[in-house]
Structure 1
Amino acid sequence: MAPFFVLSIAFIVYEYIQKYLALIHGREQKFKNINYLIEIFKDQASSHELLEEALEAFNTHFLHFNNVTKDSKEYQECLDFIGAFAWCPNMDIDRVVNYREEIVKANPNYKKEIETVIGSALKNREDKKGKKK
């Protein structure tokens, strides 16, 4: 009877480990989706830790625009992320400005567009903050 219980417990533990690994893998896949990252920054209830994870995922997977054209979907998604990041009220403005420099350094061909998106987002952020007061 003891071997049966040991095998049963081992099987249960194995199942929990498999579920945990599937959860982790699913979470990693989500962080490879730029639209998911954009939603994190648009959600004002996102925790600071989640925002940092999303920013790190962007750095890992999308920071360098490489050879995308300005009329491609990937380019627009990257700009949408940058705009959502800059607009996010939970991100410090100094952090946004410093990150702008990192993005421009990684993508010097798109400097004007990046600065325009961030400037516009910061202006809209300040306008919204002014209307709340």
Structure 2
Amino acid sequence: MFDLFFYVLCWLVMFILALPIMFAGLLSVALENDNAPVAANPLAELHKEVLAYKDNKEKIKECYKTFTDKFTKCAQNSPNYNIWLEIIYNFSLNPILMETDEVAKFRDMLEDENPSIAKQIQTKVGTALQHREKK
């Protein structure tokens, strides 16, 4: 219907008009920030907070509530197992947070939730109570 020159000219004009859009797309892809935020270990963060707020009654109670709500169970082969036991130790050691009878209830609750590691929980809480009485 039209001459071949007309079609070549149309394709060339459309390609030239599409170039800025292609460059804008390539530039946006090049400038895109692909650094995904590193997922922090929530149990390790809680451990840091427990250590930082050991003298602040409100903050340590918030940490305790977070622990009892989210982290009452832990498997022995978990990579966070030692951190979990250290948090239990620090909670049991802190006289601002709990009295001795409350620590015993805390221990019993954890032993009920984790019967396979009840002995380790009992040992950690017992050690904390011994160190607590020496202070």
Q: Which TM-score bucket, shorter chain as reference?
A: 0.5 to 0.7
State the structure with more CA Rg: 2
CA displacement 1:74-128 (0-9 Å, x = unmatched): 111110110010111213111111111000000011110000000001101111x
Judge conservation of contact 1:44–1:89 (CA < 8 Å) in 2.
no
Which residue number in structure 1 is paired with residue 132 of structure 2? 125
Tell me which residue corresponds to 1:45: 55
Q: Is the 8 A contact 1:38 1:81 kept in 2?
A: yes
Q: Percent identity?
A: 26
RMSD: 2.2
Structure 2: gaps spanning 5 or more residues: 1-38
Q: How many corresponding residue pairs?
A: 95
| Correspondent of 1:100 among 88, 103, 107 | 107
Selected match of 2:65 from 56, 76, 92? 56
Gaps of 5+ in 1: 1-28
Aligned partner of 2:96 in structure 1 is 90
TM-score, normalised to structure 2's length?
Answer: 0.61
Distance 1:80 1:62 in 2: 13
4+ residue runs over 4 A deviation: none
